[in-house]
Amino acid sequence: MPRVGIPRAFSYYYFYPFYRGFLEALGAEVVVSPRSSRRTLDLMQACPTDEPCVSVKLCFAHTSWLQSAGVDFFFLPYMVSVDPANYLCPKMIGMTDMLRVGLGLPDARVLAPTVDRKDRPGQWERTFTEVAARLGVGDPARVRAALEAAGAEQARFRRLCREGLTVPEAIARLEGREVPRPRRYSARARPDPGLRIGVAGHAYILYDLIGHDLVNRLREYGRVFTAEMVDDETAAREVATLFEGEKMWYIEGHLLGAVFHWLRNCLVDRLVLLEAFECGPMSIVENFVQEEADASGIPLLILTVDEQTGEAGLVTRLEAFMDTSPRADSRTLRVSPLLHTTVFPQRGPEPRQLRAGVVTMGSLEVGVRAILQECGVEVVRLPHLGKETVELGKELAPEFICFPMVTLLGEMRQLLARGANMLLMVMGKGKCRLGWYAQVQELLLRRYGYQFEMPAFNSPFPLRTNWGPFAHVVKHVAGGASWPRIIRAFRFGWRKVVLMDEGERLLQRWRAFEDERGAADRAYGRFLAALDRADSYRDINRAWQHYREELEGIPTRDTDPLHVRAVGEIYVLLEPLVNKDLEKIVGTRVGQRVWVHRELCASDWFRLHVFCDRRLRRREEYVRHAASPYLRELVGGHGAESVGGAVLAPREGMDGVLHLMPFTCMPEIVAQNVLVRAADEHDVPILTFIMSEQTGEAGVITRVEAFLDLLEERRRVRRSGRATVGMPTGRLEWRADEVS
């Protein structure tokens, strides 16, 4: 009988009954790692990088325990989407690959069926059948029976939870065990059977050692309700009242729906939200919880934990909250402020009074502004972006939201201060947080008292369902301009964007060969200004021609530059405010010549995702294929492209890779994690920059200097015919809070 190990982390807390039911029906012995202990926290060091949230590190710890327990197989399903409308958190999607690569688990011992009901709805059963075959069960009838047994076990589990058992209690009941009553925690707590306390948090945090047994501590004060006690239909119905709420990540959508259900139906008197430090999805969810709790008058406590969180501090906050929170008048039902809130159209001013504010990502704003002006829409210009922009964003932004959202929020406040009454923002919901930016930014800005409208652009694809709403937004934003005028305007703005990106590619090259440092940058600066002023194609072409001539006029010499590839999250890659103008820092080093290569740019993103450019599609597939030994599931953003781009770098003539990501960026945290092994196996030096509002330019420069010195040394060694394998790949990591 094969021994199959299941780590007591992550999806164990949501789907273990299904896993156990399936594996045991196939005759396997299921081995679950023991409950987390101090020893488990030590094993978290098995996680190759420091960036992931504590939940990922716990999964590493539990899986490495199973390694030492000598199980035959590791059951590590790819949990991508369990509901056709949404995904799971990118870190959960990437967990199997992080464990496989980070712990060096041989494929032969990893059982990894894939559950992706959103993009590959019909495939999950086939992948479970493949697992059955690897466990020696090829009989389809037996596999079907095992899946049915698993489904029945899962349904029993959900029923026990709805009947008021917590996840561990329901699992114990399924296994014929009773969970022992916990010891008494607080001498101060005065039990009040009438007090109802709602607790919402990831089960893999709440019921793990790092959750400090919160549920049982609160049971000493009153009756506790947890999210798993709310049935899926109710939670889904409630969260769907939020604009595109059904697209919220599955687990977090259930949490939020449960919270809405409790608050809107006066089912709790207190609410406690438990989050992991740096949790991506909760940095979005908490805003909607706060809004609903404020409107309901129900006291809310948000607790954030990680492996460093001390029990004493947490207990003090809990006791203070329980002792001092007023008993809300929860008899009166009330209308939620979030009900059916759409981001568009608010009863904003009539089209003729529109004053549009365009946030930016690199030079994209120049193109968008040109389009709006060509449509006759008044556009408010952004001021020079800098420290003030970041401070304004930080003032309103949730603690662990990704940095791009912070700077965009700051830009929005600067635009509103300059008289904008319409803010443009993209909105397409995918695996990462970008799709929720617009709704959270609107919520935060309105809560602060700003009046405006925020038409958010969703993808026009699939045209059958999305073209109508998309066209409606375009028409409104264009001030009611005719379609022929809108198309002409788009072409004009697009021309500017394309030339800006082309111009930047030339700049990256000229920096590497120019005789006089900075000459190319000055020429590019003049080109950008001329392009921005251009209000005809003739002006645009003249600006472009002039820039090319200026470059050709710059004296150059053969400098034998280093070649460095820049990969990472698109906003951080393209926005100098956030990346500290890193490409310029690297490309204009005195005494060191570097040609920075970056494939990602605004115009190519558009060509690939809107115009479906075949050349770019082939390149994307090639890069993702190169990533696949390390990342088999797409985790959103440009995670796969970062891994593939780094793996291909040595083969494509690069001396090193710069990996840029915003603090807490989920897809890039997964990429960074698997890149540890990839860097060693492909002998490619990678310098990772994790950018946040604490990023200091001096620190960036220090790191760049050390990295370029290493690349030059490696090149010298390579050219002397000696191998560089074994030389430090220089996988330097620089956390934003290492301020210097």
Binding site for ligand SF4 (CB under 6 A): 53, 55, 89, 91-92, 202, 276, 279-282, 666
Q: How far is the CB of 160 from ligand SF4 (least distance, A)?
A: 23
- Between 166 and 664, CB nearer to ligand SF4: 664
- Between 53 and 519, CB nearer to ligand SF4: 53
What is each CA distance from 62 to 7, 107, 600, in whole angstroms?
Answer: 5, 18, 37
Beta-bridge partner residues of 75: 111
Q: Which of 657, 60, 577 is nearest to 360 (CA)?
A: 577
Q: How far is the CB of 490 from ligand SF4 (least distance, A)?
A: 37
Q: How far is the CB of 427 from ligand SF4 (least distance, A)?
A: 21
424/85 Cα distance (integer angstroms): 25
99/64 Cα distance (integer angstroms): 9
Q: How far is the CB of 16 from ligand SF4 (least distance, A)?
A: 16
- Between 98 and 647, CB nearer to ligand SF4: 98
Q: How far is the CB of 386 from ligand SF4 (least distance, A)?
A: 30
Q: How far is the CB of 679 from ligand SF4 (least distance, A)?
A: 23
Q: Which amino acid is at 351?
A: P
337/442 Cα distance (integer angstroms): 13
97/107 Cα distance (integer angstroms): 11
- Between 206 and 268, CB nearer to ligand SF4: 206
Q: How far is the CB of 602 from ligand SF4 (least distance, A)?
A: 28
- Between 285 and 371, CB nearer to ligand SF4: 285
Q: Which of 679, 671, 669 is nearest to 707 (CA)?
A: 679
- Between 304 and 414, CB nearer to ligand SF4: 304
Local structure of residue 353 (DSSP, 8 states): G
- Between 206 and 567, CB nearer to ligand SF4: 206
Token code pair at residue 370: 């040109």
681/673 Cα distance (integer angstroms): 14
- Between 348 and 430, CB nearer to ligand SF4: 430
- Between 58 and 582, CB nearer to ligand SF4: 58
Q: Which of 89, 95, 19, 109 is nearest to 62 (CA)?
A: 95
| Cα 621 from chain centre | 22
- Between 402 and 649, CB nearer to ligand SF4: 402
Local structure of residue 683 (DSSP, 8 states): T
597/618 Cα distance (integer angstroms): 19
Exposure string (b/e) for 228-261, b if CB count within 10 Å is 16 or more?
A: bbbbbebbbebbbbbbbbbbbbbbbbbbbbbbbb
Helix 614-627 / helix 602-609 crossing angle, nearest 10 deg: 100
- Between 276 and 377, CB nearer to ligand SF4: 276
Q: How far is the CB of 88 from ligand SF4 (least distance, A)?
A: 8
Q: How far is the CB of 222 from ligand SF4 (least distance, A)?
A: 27
Are the C-beta atoms of residues 4 and 71 closer than 8 Å to each other?
yes
- Between 43 and 519, CB nearer to ligand SF4: 43
Q: How far is the CB of 202 from ligand SF4 (least distance, A)?
A: 5
Beta-bridge partner residues of 453: 422
What is each CA distance from 242 to 143, 288, 439, 440, in whole angstroms?
Answer: 39, 9, 10, 11
Q: How far is the CB of 670 from ligand SF4 (least distance, A)?
A: 10
735/27 Cα distance (integer angstroms): 47
Q: Which amino acid is at 296?
A: S
- Between 279 and 626, CB nearer to ligand SF4: 279
Local structure of residue 727 (DSSP, 8 states): B
Token code pair at residue 673: 């994690």
> DSSP per residue over 363-402, as a string?
THHHHHHHHHHHTT-EEEPP---SHHHHHHHHHHS-TTS-
Are the C-beta atoms of residues 724 and 718 closer than 8 Å to each other?
yes
Q: How far is the CB of 219 from ligand SF4 (least distance, A)?
A: 24
Cis check for the bond before 345: say yes or no (omega within 30 of 0).
Answer: yes
Number of H helices, E strands in the chain: 30, 19
Q: How far is the CB of 276 from ligand SF4 (least distance, A)?
A: 4
- Between 431 and 496, CB nearer to ligand SF4: 431
Q: How far is the CB of 666 from ligand SF4 (least distance, A)?
A: 6
What is each CA distance from 564 to 14, 467, 511, 596, 673, in whole angstroms?
Answer: 43, 40, 13, 5, 21
